[in-house]
Amino acid sequence: MIASKVTGSKVLKKSGQYKMTGAYGSMGRNTLEVDFTKVGIDTGYTSSSWGTNKTYVVECTLSGGVEAYTSQPDWRLVQWGVETSRVYSITRWSGGATIFFDFDWYTRRCRARASGGDQTKINWKLYELI
């Protein structure tokens, strides 16, 4: 993807975490594919509803663990990741707009850990580009 705007810096506006609550993925599949799409994660960051020309990006990192068969023939085949696919503003009838984002969860030969101390988590940060 080619950026449409050259920016000087970014300012952190909000951060949070999404905990995976389902064992999304396939421990036996040999291809990297989208297993779960989460639409409409509310960052809680209020922005102006009308007439603004601001650009926001969301960066995601992963923490926690995943589950895989212990008898893997090649551990290099166990892969997982997350991609933010959209950042957008939802305007309400009254009050300010809030920034939302979507993400896709990818796996190959593993699945998300849905509970426990090593639960899979998506850590996100919302930035305004300036």
Q: What digits encode the pLDDT tens for the residues 100-127? A: 999 999 999 999 999 888 999 999 999 9
104 within some domain? yes
Q: What is the pTM of this model?
A: 0.82
3 within some domain? no
User: Do 123 and 61 contact (CB within 8 A), yes or no?
Assistant: yes
Number of structural domains the chain divides into:
1
pLDDT of residue 14: 96
Give the SS3 label for residue 6: coil
pLDDT tens digit sequence for 74-89: 888 888 999 888 898 8
Average pLDDT of the chain to the nearest whole number: 86
88 within some domain? yes
For residues 79 and 68, give the distance between their C-alpha atoms in angstroms, rounded to a whole number: 10
User: Do 120 and 2 contact (CB within 8 A), yes or no?
Assistant: no
4 within some domain? no
22 within some domain? yes
Domain of residue 44, residue span: 10-129
Q: Which two tokens stand for residue 80?
A: 């997982």
